[in-house]
């Protein structure tokens, strides 16, 4: 792939997608969004077991690139936001667990990226904000993902005030899974993703898909869906091997 704004690397079973516009604070221009979609599509179609989303430079991502938005008409802005939505939906639909490696500030759509990833590990120097509330363009779309992570009252505080919360607050509020010293960030990301990718890849992919499908459903509907999927998946090769290994007191042998 010929990518200008994104770095795509692989280390063993993990693919790292790095936003590489440090001079623009990894702002999400339309071209940048399209390259992220291309990178996630390639990673999702690969045999990698996990994906890391990172940012180059001092900032994880400053959100939408106002240089694009300020010059765009309604159709142009709609195209940017629709492309951003396509990226968020792709992160949720790729079969691998996706972990955000947040080393610095993540604001607006950058914070939306963190909330959309399956997992997130932050350096203790990171910060998170939806700053539109203190400006003229409210963070409507970022709050869809953020509010589902942190709940209504905390989402309202972030959205209305526009204040930056610390990594410790983000951990307490449920926006990230771990907070570590910056020097330990890579090890913490690798450790969490390593544990999150154990087992059958096919089973994990089905689990991720069903988790995202059931979360917005009413409780009774969520149980009906989960019961159906769990019953059907009990007949899979992965489930059979996992149960046989447990009963036989031996390590499982995954074929996927």
Where do the CATH 3.90.226.10 domains begin and end in the chain?
6-197
* Mean pLDDT for the stretch of residues 30-40: 97
Whether residue 29 is predicted with pLDDT greater than 90 in this model: the reply is yes
Where do the CATH 1.10.12 domains begin and end in the chain?
201-248
pLDDT band at 1 (very low <50, low <70, confident <90, very high): confident
* Mean pLDDT for the stretch of residues 218-223: 97
Cα–Cα distances in Å, from 101 out to 21, 28, 52, 124, 229? 16, 17, 7, 12, 31
Considering the domain 6-197, what is its CATH architecture? Alpha-Beta Complex (3.90)
**40 Cβ contact partners less than 8 Å away, ≥ 6 residues apart:** 17, 51, 87, 90, 91, 94
Percent of the chain predicted with pLDDT > 90: 98
Instruction: Give the model confidence (pLDDT) of 158-208 as tens digits.
Output: 999 999 999 999 999 999 999 999 999 999 999 999 999 999 999 999 999
CB 146 within 8 A of CB 158: yes
pLDDT score for 2: 87
Percent of the chain predicted with pLDDT > 70: 100
CB 54 within 8 A of CB 8: no
Tokens of 59: 């900032």
Tokens of 160: 């209305």
Instruction: Give the model confidence (pLDDT) of 102-153 as tens digits.
Output: 999 999 999 999 999 999 999 999 999 999 999 999 999 999 999 999 999 9
Mean pLDDT of the chain: 97
CATH number corresponding to 201-248: 1.10.12
For 12-169, list the strands marked E by DSSP.
Answer: 14-19, 50-55, 98-102, 105-107, 119-123, 127-129, 165-166
CB 6 within 8 A of CB 35: yes
CB 176 within 8 A of CB 121: yes
pLDDT band at 256 (very low <50, low <70, confident <90, very high): confident
- Can you tell me the distance from the alpha carbon of 193 to that of 51, in angstroms, rounded to the nearest whole number? 8
* Mean pLDDT for the stretch of residues 54-70: 96
- Global pTM value: 0.95
């Amino acid at each position: 792939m010929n990518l200008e704004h994104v770095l795509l690397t692989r280390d063993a079973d993990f693919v790292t997608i790095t936003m590489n516009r440090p001079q623009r604070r990894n702002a999400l221009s339309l071209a940048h969004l399209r390259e992220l979609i291309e990178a996630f599509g390639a990673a999702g179609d690969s045999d990698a077991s996990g994906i890391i989303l990172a940012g180059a430079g001092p900032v994880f991502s400053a959100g939408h690139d106002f240089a694009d938005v300020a010059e765009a008409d309604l159709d142009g802005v709609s195209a940017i936001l629709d492309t951003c939505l396509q990226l968020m939906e792709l992160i949720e639909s790729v079969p691998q667990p996706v972990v955000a490696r947040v080393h610095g500030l993540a604001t607006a759509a950058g914070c939306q990226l963190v909330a959309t990833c399956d997992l997130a590990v932050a350096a203790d120097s990171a910060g998170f904000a939806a700053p539109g509330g203190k400006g003229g363009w409210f963070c409507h779309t970022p709050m869809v993902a953020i509010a589902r992570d942190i709940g209504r009252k905390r989402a309202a505080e972030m959205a209305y005030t526009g204040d930056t919360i610390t990594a410790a607050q983000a951990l307490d509020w449920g926006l990230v899974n771990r907070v570590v010293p910056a020097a330990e960030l890579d090890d913490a990301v690798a450790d969490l993703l390593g544990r999150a990718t154990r087992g059958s890849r096919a089973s994990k992919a089905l689990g991720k898909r069903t988790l995202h499908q059931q979360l917005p459903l009413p409780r009774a509907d969520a149980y009906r869906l989960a019961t159906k999927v769990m019953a059907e998946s009990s007949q899979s090769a992965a489930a059979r091997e996992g149960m046989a290994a447990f009963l036989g007191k031996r390590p499982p042998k995954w074929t996927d």
